[in-house]
Structure formats: structure tokens, C-alpha cells
Amino acid sequence: MSAYHQFGRSTLPPEQQRALKKAVRWEYLTIAYTAITITVVALVVGNSQAMRTAWIEDMFSLIPQIAFLIALIFVRRKPSLQRPYGMHRAMGVGHLVAGVALLAVGLNLAFEAISGLVAAEHPTIGTTNLFGHTIWLGWLMVAVMAIIVVGPFIYGRAKSKLAPILHNKLLYADADMAKADWQTNAASIIGVLGVGIGLWWLDGVAALFISLGIIWDGLRNAKSAVVDLMDQRARTYDDKRPHPLALDIVEHLRAQPWIADAAVRMRDQGQVFHVEAFIVPRKHRVSIHQINDVSESLSALDWKVQDVVVIPSERLPDEADTARSRGTEET
């Protein structure tokens, strides 16, 4: 059977299997492409602080792809006695590691950029010999940064289409960072051209701009990972709103003739959900058969429903999501 068919105890539908297979291919392609760009930029980086900052960003941009591929090894494993909920949190841990690493590097690079500006360090960009002609190295820097920006546009868009299918926040963050990569390239080009026309400080400003972008990516990723690991209310892959599956579950429960009311507590385990469904039966006596049937029907609603616990109760917990309407958006 394909290695892309399963998350924990959930067997992925065909659409998700195909999406996962494509995501893995795009991650490997991204790593290969980034490795090439790191090598090429290293050949022309020179004394430009903006170029050096962009080069370091390229190196650390590999972290999300590596984290995704490593986490995928663990999330496929079925639950066990030692890990009864499976290892789905590995994806969230990978997300957190990527965010913290980017944040730490961004802060360090921002400090270097500010220090250079305060010290009024004047970078110099020399010349090089190319095919028997002496040319300004800055032109090679500009050419390289203009060419390598094409890749992130392509694989960033591809991964952004796969992230919602897989409900994968790490993949979405990776795609979002790639689509914004042109800003880094544009800033580094401006910094290099600034040095060329005598505006030395443009190089430092460009480096600071790139650093702030890295810091923002780190903060956003770290925050998203932390709140998920702390079991916030399950949200969509882009964290923009509560996940609509909660309402689907509640509506499904209320449609049962023997259930008077229902609510749900749903937490994101990484790519799948753990669901605690609270029900208020119309009668005090509820059979095991009824509980089993409704539990199985909830699991069948969506592949992301990994674990289901159905809890009969006289009243619904205050913190449970009653999902009274599609417009319920409180956090």
C-alpha cells in the first residue's frame, strides 16, 4: 500500500493521498532548488550586507521543508499504548521549531544591520573578471537575485493549493513565505544598487528590511504553533476562522431524533482533530448501540476526525462550542 495513505489510524481519501504525494515532491524540489540558490548567491555575495542577509535567509528557509518531511514520518504512525493519541503533534512541533529558528536568526540579523548603520559602515562592491571582461560584481548580484526569485513563485503557489486539502499549517506557512520571497530579492537588489550609486546606507536598510521579514515570519509561525499545541479551539489551515467542521458535527448530532442538544470541543492535533461531543439525550436512558452508531457516523463525516468521544450529559459545558450559526467567529 502507498506510504501516503495514512495519518495515524485515519486512512486518507484519494484526494488527500494525491495531495500529500505532491506536497512531498514539492518539498524535495524546494530543498534542491534552495540548495542551488544558496550556492549561486555564495559565489557573488561580496561585501553587501543585504546580500549576506538574503543568503542567510535562504539557508534558514530550508527549515520548514525539513521539519515537514521529518514530522510526516511520525504522524503516519498508529496510536499505541505509550502514545494513545498518536504522534500528530510532531507536525506542530516542527512548525514551532521553524518559527523559533526564524525568529532567532531574524533578531540577530536585525541587530547586525542596525549596528552597521549606526557605525556608518561603508560596504564596498568590487569588480570581477567574466569571460575576459572586467565587470562590476554588483551587476552579477542583481542578475542572480532577479533570476532566482522565479522558483518561489512557482512552488509557493503550488503548495498553497495543497495546504487546505491536507489541513496542514506548516505547509501553508512555508508556501506563504515562499510567495513573499520576492520582497527579499527586491530589497537586496535595491541595497546593491544603492552602494553602486554611492548611497551606502541603502545596503544596511535593505538588510534590516529583510531581517524584519524574517522576524515577522518567525513570530507568526511560532505563535500559530504554540496556540495549537496549547489546544486552542480548532481553526482553519490559515488560522483565519474557527474550523467549520465543528458546526457540521453539532448539526449532525442535533439531527439525531434521540438527541435534544449538542456541543463539541474540538482540538487540532496537527492535521487531524480530536473531538469530544457532548449530547443532551431526550430520554435519561441511552443505549451503547446508540453511542457507537453516532460515534461512527461522526468519524465518517470527515477524514480529519481522528478520535471521537461521545459524552451524554444533563447540560452542555460552558466552554463547549455550540456552533449556533455559521457566523460564530469568536476565538
The DSSP element (H or E) to which 63 belongs, if any, is helix 63-75
- DSSP symbols for 120-137: T------EEEETTEEEEH
Stretch among 105-109, 123-127, 223-227, 251-255 having the lowest mean pLDDT: 123-127
Cell digits for 226? 504554540
- Other Cβ atoms within 10 Å of 129 Cβ, number: 8
CA distance 62 to 223: 19
323 burial (CB, 10 Å; 0-12 / 13-18 / 19+) is: buried
- DSSP symbols for 259-275: EEEEEEEEEE-SSSEEE
Residue 1, pLDDT score:
47
The DSSP element (H or E) to which 102 belongs, if any, is helix 89-118
% pLDDT > 90, the chain: 37
Q: Which domains does the chain have, with CATH numbers?
A: 6-229 (1.20.1510.10), 234-331 (3.30.70.1350)
Highest-confidence segment of 129-133, 210-214, 309-313: 309-313
pLDDT exceeds 90 at position 3: no
What letter does residue 91 receive in the DSSP assignment?
H
CA distance 59 to 230: 29
Q: Mean pLDDT across the stretch 291-298?
A: 94
What letter does residue 311 receive in the DSSP assignment?
E
pLDDT exceeds 90 at position 86: no
The pLDDT mean for the chain works out to: 87
Q: Mean pLDDT across the stretch 237-245?
A: 90
pLDDT exceeds 70 at position 290: yes
Q: Mean pLDDT across the stretch 245-266?
A: 94
> Rg of the chain over CA atoms, in angstroms?
25
* Tens digit of each residue's pLDDT (9 = 90 or more) over 261-280: 999 999 988 888 999 999 99
* Tens digit of each residue's pLDDT (9 = 90 or more) over 101-155: 889 888 988 998 898 889 888 888 877 777 777 888 888 888 988 898 888 889 9
Q: Mean pLDDT across the stretch 149-173?
A: 91
* Tens digit of each residue's pLDDT (9 = 90 or more) over 312-325: 999 999 898 887 64
CA distance 277 to 296: 12
CA distance 39 to 144: 11
Amino acid at 67: A
Q: Are strands 10-11 and 127-130 parallel, antiparallel or unpaired?
A: unpaired
First-to-last alpha carbon distance for the chain, in angstroms, is: 40
pLDDT exceeds 70 at position 307: yes
Nearest to 156 by CA among 175, 171, 174, 169: 175
- Using alpha carbons, list the distances in angstroms from residue 184 to 12, 51, 54: 37, 9, 6
Q: Where are the beta strands (DSSP E) in the chain?
A: 6-7, 10-11, 127-130, 133-136, 259-268, 273-281, 305-312
